[in-house]
Amino acid sequence: MSHDVKKNKFLKKILGALGFKMFPKETIKTERFIESSSLNSGDLIKLLINKKKINNIIQIGANDGKSDDFLRKSINTDTNVLLVEPIKSAFVQLEKNYSGYKNVKFVNKAIDIKSGKREIFSVNPKYHDFYEKKYQSKDVSWLTVLASFNKNHLEYHGIKSSHIQSIEIDCVNFEELIDQYNFQSLDLLVVDTEGYDEILITNFIQNTNIRPLIIFEWIHIQKNKAEDLIELLELNNYKFLKLNKDLICIQKNLLFN
């Protein structure tokens, strides 16, 4: 028996004792293929919009409306959408990418549990050329996606600490945002705030009576915080569908009507 085979069997035993299981490479390849061929969040939203189940949308952390984003390709030109993005450079591109959409409004602020000023961290544009070389790509505009209230979030994604800048931004809470833009009849809330999602969604549920379809990224949430959030959403009649890195939270009446 070769050394590699012995090592592999030993590794399987260790992982098995810890409660883990090694999957064959072919299984992993098949899983990736199935995922690439499956419906994504954008497909579901487009279907619900076309069936008139979704008419009014708020997206928190809209970025540039293009990078790592499913919403713009899913909506119709007359869908009512409120896009919230705090980073100015991304916000400028956001407005350009949504030109031609007549019922879209833009807010150059962040959402927080209370209104006021707050520090946010992002990649300093003067270091973008470093990441162009690192990732061998001329387009690193997606770096703005990483903007977060938590500096460690950027470092976790491979951004050098010295390349991170902090700026003070204006924040508004959900109640003020909804009242100011008259979005009480909200059908879909999309949250992508790089590690702050569960805090905002908890705040939204606890401080409003609106119960829309909710989509957020689950991948940055610790298990204990995810458990608390799921429990809160279940108490508010939500069921769940995981599509890749998105968790779709659906009201029972939407499922069965």
Which residues does 33 contact at the CB level (< 8 Å), separation at least 6? Answer: none
Nearest-5° Cα angle at 91, 52 to 51:
5
State whether 21 and 68 are in the same domain.
no
State whether 30 and 59 are in the same domain.
no
Per the structure, the count of domains in the chain is: 2
Residue-level pLDDT, tens digit, the chain, 257 residues:
444 444 455 555 555 555 555 566 777 677 677 767 777 888 899 999 999 999 999 999 999 998 888 898 899 888 999 999 999 999 999 999 999 898 999 999 999 999 999 999 999 999 999 998 888 887 888 888 899 999 999 998 899 999 999 999 999 999 999 999 999 999 999 999 988 999 999 999 999 999 999 999 988 888 999 999 999 999 999 999 998 889 999 998 776 56
User: Is position 118 within any domain?
Assistant: no
State whether 21 and 51 are in the same domain.
no
* Alpha carbons 127 and 163: distance in angstroms, whole number: 6
Structure confidence at residue 177 (pLDDT): 97
Structure confidence at residue 21 (pLDDT): 58
* Alpha carbons 90 and 232: distance in angstroms, whole number: 32
The model's pTM is 0.83
Structure confidence at residue 7 (pLDDT): 45
* Alpha carbons 8 and 245: distance in angstroms, whole number: 30
User: Is position 12 within any domain?
Assistant: yes
State whether 50 and 18 are in the same domain.
no
Residues composing the chain: 257
**Domain membership of residue 8 as a residue range:** 3-36
Residue 96 near residue 72 (C-beta atoms within 8 A): no
* Alpha carbons 207 and 225: distance in angstroms, whole number: 18
CA neighbours closer than 13 Å in the CB half-sphere of residue 142: 12
State whether 28 and 68 are in the same domain.
no
State whether 86 and 17 are in the same domain.
no
Question: Taking the CB of residue 21, how many other CB atoms lie within 10 A of it?
Answer: 8
User: Is position 130 within any domain?
Assistant: no
User: Is position 182 within any domain?
Assistant: yes
User: Is position 124 within any domain?
Assistant: no
User: Is position 209 within any domain?
Assistant: yes
Residue 250 near residue 239 (C-beta atoms within 8 A): yes
Structure confidence at residue 19 (pLDDT): 59
- The separation between CA 164 and the C-alpha centre of its own chain, rounded to angstroms, equals 21
Structure confidence at residue 213 (pLDDT): 97
User: Is position 153 within any domain?
Assistant: no
State whether 107 and 206 are in the same domain.
yes
User: Is position 143 within any domain?
Assistant: no
State whether 14 and 57 are in the same domain.
no
Handedness of CA 50, 55, 58, 64 (dihedral sign): positive
Structure confidence at residue 1 (pLDDT): 43
State whether 13 and 52 are in the same domain.
no
Structure confidence at residue 12 (pLDDT): 56
CA neighbours closer than 13 Å in the CB half-sphere of residue 23: 8
* Alpha carbons 39 and 70: distance in angstroms, whole number: 12
- The separation between CA 56 and the C-alpha centre of its own chain, rounded to angstroms, equals 18
Which CATH number is 206's domain given? 3.40.50.150
Residue 199 near residue 113 (C-beta atoms within 8 A): yes
* Torsions phi, psi for 227 (to 5 deg): -60, -45
State whether 9 and 93 are in the same domain.
no
- Residue tagged 């779709």 (tokens): 248
State whether 201 and 242 are in the same domain.
yes
